[in-house]
């Protein structure tokens, strides 16, 4: 199978490319990535230089660049997996413009080219955040109404609706996946888990929003990648599949788990002003995927967080370069007077 993976230099995309090139020896991957602040070719050095190098090609470019995308599609693909996105809620509160540009317009450009070139699978990597926020009970299912609360989740929901429309109107064989919060190697240290691991390693404060009792469902990134590959092979066009880790945790539980494992004191925790529009709880019912395709997560949280912490301990140069670069400007502006 010949795949076009967009956003493959980011966290989940790079893990996915490594996973498929290792698992499926006949598959080839073209990775189209703009290399925004979150895209990093260091994430794929082993792939680009390793045993599967001849089945992998990188192209730097924007998914919203219609001429470039059309030129790339003319080389022929069996499937597209669209990871490319602006992905951080806090940045979408800071400035939503690029979220619409990439997440909505970029997706529409890909859909048009996929249709023109009769691509047989278009997998849109979406998020459980499009469903909005839950109270203490219940789960998101694939039929839960979309009710996004942040500019990020609104842009992802907009893309989902376009993907749905291209199936209903043109019968482009699309599939949407909606996954919960990922963690694992190569996650940009602006997200909760890698931010808190790397801050704690430097004995810097951990800025916990609000009362620290917001709940997320956490999935180890490799489990997400395995689910996407299975859906790509055997999922039904026109369908939505939820993907979850069966691992609900409050943010304070996550924080304590990290501090405890690193042998750092809880005095590093700083309760800071809450994120505006902060969704209280996400919890996902992925029984459709388990029932139809026999998928289940392999990593429980204790195993996944141990592996993740070990990776950040063994790859300090990777995240130290990021934390001293352009990201520092955003960090100082965003958290500045709060910690
Ligand atoms: P990320 O921010 O780590 O990576 C995004 C990648 O997309 C980067 O490599 C970036 O350079 C690239 N990109 C951004 N704009 C682009 C453009 N216009 N053209 C081409 N490339 C562009 O994000 P991630 O955490 O790996 O998330 C990947 C996808 O998974 C996103 O669509 C996100 O909405 C979705 N998702 C993420 C999570 C999570 O917990 N991280 C959970 C569910 C769904
Ligand atoms: P995040 O990793 O940004 O993912 P998302 O908002 O997409 O779920 O945040 C996960 C949770 O951690 C969320 O409830 C917000 C909280 N959080 C903090 O308390 N402090 C922080 O500095 C960050 C980045 C997140």
Residue 338 has pLDDT above 90, yes or no: no
Q: What are phi and psi of 218, to 5 degrees?
A: -110, 135
Q: What is the DSSP letter of 41?
A: G
Contacts (Cβ under 8 Å, ≥6 apart) of 314: none
Which atom of ligand 1 is nearest the CA belonging to 129? 43
Q: Is the CB of 10 under 6 A from ligand 1?
A: yes
Question: Does residue 282's CB lie within 6 angstroms of at least one atom of ligand 1?
Answer: no
| Catalytic residue check, 152 | yes
Q: Which of 149, 108, 110, 106 is nearest to 127 (CA)?
A: 149
Answer yes or no: is the C-beta of 107 below 6 A from any ligand 1 atom: no
**Which domains are delineated in the chain?**
2-183+219-243 (3.40.50.720)
List, for residues 11-56, the tens digit of each pLDDT value: 999 999 999 999 999 999 999 999 999 999 999 999 999 999 999 9
Distance from C-alpha of 33 to C-alpha of 9, rounded to nearest angstrom: 6
| Ligand 1: nearest atom to the Cα of 9 | 9
Residue 199, pLDDT > 90, answer: yes
Report helix, strand or coil for 145: coil
Question: Has residue 339 got a pLDDT over 80?
Answer: no
**Please, what is the average pLDDT of the chain?**
97
């Amino acid at each position: 199978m010949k795949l076009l993976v967009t956003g493959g230099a980011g966290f989940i995309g790079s893990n996915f490319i490594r996973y498929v090139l290792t698992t499926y020896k006949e598959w080839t991957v073209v990775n189209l990535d703009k290399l925004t602040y979150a895209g990093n070719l260091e994430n794929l050095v082993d792939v680009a230089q390793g045993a599967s190098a001849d089945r992998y090609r990188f192209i730097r470019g924007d998914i919203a660049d219609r001429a470039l995308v059309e030129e790339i599609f003319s080389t022929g693909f069996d499937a597209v997996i669209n990871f490319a996105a602006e992905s951080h809620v806090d940045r979408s509160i800071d400035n939503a413009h690029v979220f619409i540009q990439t997440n909505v317009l970029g997706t529409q450009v890909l859909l048009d080219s996929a249709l023109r070139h009769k691509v047989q699978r278009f997998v849109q990597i979406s998020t459980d955040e499009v469903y909005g926020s839950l109270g203490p009970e219940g789960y998101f299912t694939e039929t839960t109404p979309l009710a996004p609360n942040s500019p990020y989740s609104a842009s992802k929901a907009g893309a989902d609706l376009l993907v749905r429309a291209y199936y209903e109107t043109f019968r482009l064989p699309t599939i949407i996946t909606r996954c919960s919060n990922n963690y694992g190697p190569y996650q940009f240290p602006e997200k909760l888990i890698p931010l808190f691991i790397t801050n704690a390693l430097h004995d810097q404060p951990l800025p916990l929003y609000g009362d620290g009792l917001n709940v997320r469902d956490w999935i180890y990134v490799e489990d997400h990648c395995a689910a996407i590959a299975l859906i790509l092979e055997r999922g039904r066009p026109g369908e939505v599949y939820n993907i979850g880790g069966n691992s609900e945790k409050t943010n304070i539980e996550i924080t304590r788990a990290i501090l405890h494992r690193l042998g750092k004191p809880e005095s590093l925790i700083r309760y800071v002003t809450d994120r505006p529009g902060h969704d209280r709880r996400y919890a996902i019912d992925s029984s459709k995927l388990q029932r139809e395709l026999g998928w289940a997560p392999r990593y429980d949280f204790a195993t996944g967080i141990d592996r993740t912490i070990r990776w950040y301990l063994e790859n300090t140069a990777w995240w130290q370069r990021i934390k001293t670069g352009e990201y520092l400007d955003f960090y100082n502006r965003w958290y500045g007077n709060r910690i």
